[in-house]
Amino acid sequence: MQISIKGLNLIKKFEGLQLNAYKCPAGIWTIGYGHTHQVKKGDALSEAMATEYLVKDIRHAQSAAKQYVLVALTQWQFDALVSLIFNIGVGHFKSSTLLKMLNQNNFASASGQFARWNKAKVGGKLVPLKGLTRRRNAEADLFENQQITGNVQAVAAPKVASKLTSKTNFVSLLGACGIMTTQLDAAKKLVDQAGKISAKGGDLADQIGGITSSITWPVAMVLVTVALFVFIIFERNKKVDIYGL
């Protein structure tokens, strides 16, 4: 027996799809539908490749269901178990009360055991998670009724909000653009001013004229462009601090 399209789609919905590599909360580089093997920063893939990886990744879960479950299963019961095993791991499944009940032909009690696997470590403590609770409910519904009820939502990958705060990087950029060393003091002053304007909520265009008037016109144009970029970065960083976006 192999997982059906319905079972595969259930796993997809809860794993969530990310086409670019990201670090999961545990600090592991992840891509696609929870794929972690040999993933590194900067990796990207297509949706078709993500599905291919998922099919390969769930082989161990399918093998475990076939090896350790000693009673006959329907397709939807098998699908639900594969989703569970893929999420909690073969080791936990092997020692679970769910498996014990199942092998005693007590399907009703086994179904009730899905709900127990809704916890994960947060700050070193096991706590119930809403996403895992929804997933366990969906798996139990599939196991019992061949239906997936409730609002099945993907567990989204964390958003990575990067911050750029070093004015040294921007001054180095000016040097790379060919700005003379004698004019870097003005550049530094402009970068500082852009940050102060952002912090105060002021208008950039109204307040940089006095600085650029002391340098040559071509250099001033470059500096104004860089200052605008710095201003945008500072604004972005404020949103990261306040909203986490």
Q: How far apart are CA 95 and CA 116, in angstroms?
A: 13
Q: Is the pLDDT of residue 159 over 50?
A: no
Same domain assignment for residues 174 and 211: yes
Same domain assignment for residues 131 and 174: no
For residue 24, indicate whether it is catalytic: yes
In a domain, 162, yes or no: no
Same domain assignment for residues 129 and 184: no
Confidence of residue 121 (pLDDT cuts 50, 70, 90): confident
Split into its structural domains, the chain has a count of 2
% pLDDT > 90, the chain: 54
Same domain assignment for residues 62 and 119: yes
Among candidate residues 15, 52, 144, 177, the one labeled active-site is 15
Confidence (pLDDT) at 190 = 52
Helix axis angle, 184-200 relative to 217-243, nearest 10°? 40
Q: 87, 7 in Cβ contact below 8 A?
A: no
CA distances from 82 to 25, 27, 73, 100, 170 (A): 23, 25, 12, 16, 51
Same domain assignment for residues 179 and 128: no
Q: How far apart are CA 143 and CA 137, in angstroms?
A: 10
Confidence (pLDDT) at 169 = 44
In a domain, 155, yes or no: no
In a domain, 158, yes or no: no
Confidence (pLDDT) at 123 = 85
Same domain assignment for residues 190 and 74: no
Q: Is the pLDDT of residue 29 over 70?
A: yes
Among candidate residues 24, 47, 139, 144, the one labeled active-site is 24
Domain of residue 10, CATH code: 1.10.530.40
Same domain assignment for residues 119 and 52: yes
Lookup: tokens for 62: 């399918």
The whole-model pTM stands at 0.59
For residue 235, indicate whether it is catalytic: no
In a domain, 121, yes or no: yes
Burial annotation 74-89 (CB, 10 A radius, 16+ → b, else e)? eebbbbbbbbbbbbbe
Mean confidence (pLDDT) of the chain? 76
Q: 11, 139 in Cβ contact below 8 A?
A: no
Confidence of residue 213 (pLDDT cuts 50, 70, 90): low
Same domain assignment for residues 54 and 136: yes
Pick from 112-116, 125-129, 201-205 the range whose average pLDDT is largest.
Answer: 112-116
Kindly state the average pLDDT of the residues 16-37: 92
Domain that includes residue 81, residue range: 5-145
